[in-house]
Amino acid sequence: MRTLIAIPVFNEAKYLVGVLTRVCAKAQELGADVLVIDDGSTDGTRELLRGFDVRVIQHEANAGYGRSMRDAFDLAIREYDWVVTMDCDEQHEPEALPRFFEAARDGTHDVISGSRYLDGSCDAIGSPPADRRSINTELTAEINERLGSVFEEAGGGEITDAFCGFKAYRSAALAKLELSEDGYAFPMQFWVQAAAARLAIREIPVRLIYNDPNRSFGGPLDDACVRRGHYRRVLHCELERCADRLPAPALEDTCCGCP
């Protein structure tokens, strides 16, 4: 099983050496390659990366989380069977990687999605800010209400954590998607397209870790109301765009606000 571990990074010099040291050790044990997508970092990340035997995609300017994910997917589709994505801010534990590999090897699902809120998750370290938890809860509930039946028919089930970036994806399944979202709303587009493509989803528990509750999204998205509205618009726009491949109940009362 040719597997890539992909890590999007933007100004994570504080954590990068520690995280990459642990990830590279696990990757060697698991026979995987490591890719870092440096999304225009200006804090010395580029220089630190030279000390590691990893593949690097370099954005000269910040292009967004979704763009980094899409770059990782494109490489995985060309060269690998699976890609595992994780963050570089110590919120995802490299020691959990073998569980994603094991679930991928089962061969029964297309996406293995980490959940911080699934029964069986490890004891939490810290807690998410109230607005982040409430937005995750609201959007996860709406996705399940609109798409849960589709996920169940595809051999998976409802999700409990719409925004966890710790995931394993089958490359052949990713090739069925046409993702275009560049920013933090990327998961909203992904879930709709995953349902439209009838991908089988499985969640596995991962530890909830919040070391820095004050981390910024940047710009207007730091306002929780703006962020919630943006995520819902992207979700609804994608529902409407994929309308011909989704059941009618998934499309009720969508209002993306797009022209």
Note the pLDDT of residue 256: 65
Residue type, position 11, single letter: N
Note the pLDDT of residue 119: 78
Q: Looking at the chain, list the stretches that DSSP marks H as alpha helix, in order from N- to C-terminal side.
A: 13-30, 45-49, 65-79, 97-106, 130-153, 171-174, 186-196, 224-241
Note the pLDDT of residue 254: 86
Return the SS3 of 49. Answer: helix
CATH architecture of 3-251: Alpha-Beta Complex (3.90)
Note the pLDDT of residue 60: 95
Note the pLDDT of residue 253: 87
Note the pLDDT of residue 259: 44
Burial grade of 36 (CB within 10 A; 0-12, 13-18, 19 or more) = buried
Distance of CA 86 to the CA centre of its chain: 7
Identify the segments of the chain with pLDDT beneath 50: 259
HSE (side-chain half, CA atoms, 13 Å) at 61: 1
Note the pLDDT of residue 157: 87
Report the residue count for the chain: 259
Note the pLDDT of residue 120: 64
Q: pTM for the complete prediction? A: 0.94
Q: Which of 6, 217, 208 is nearest to 90 (CA)?
A: 208
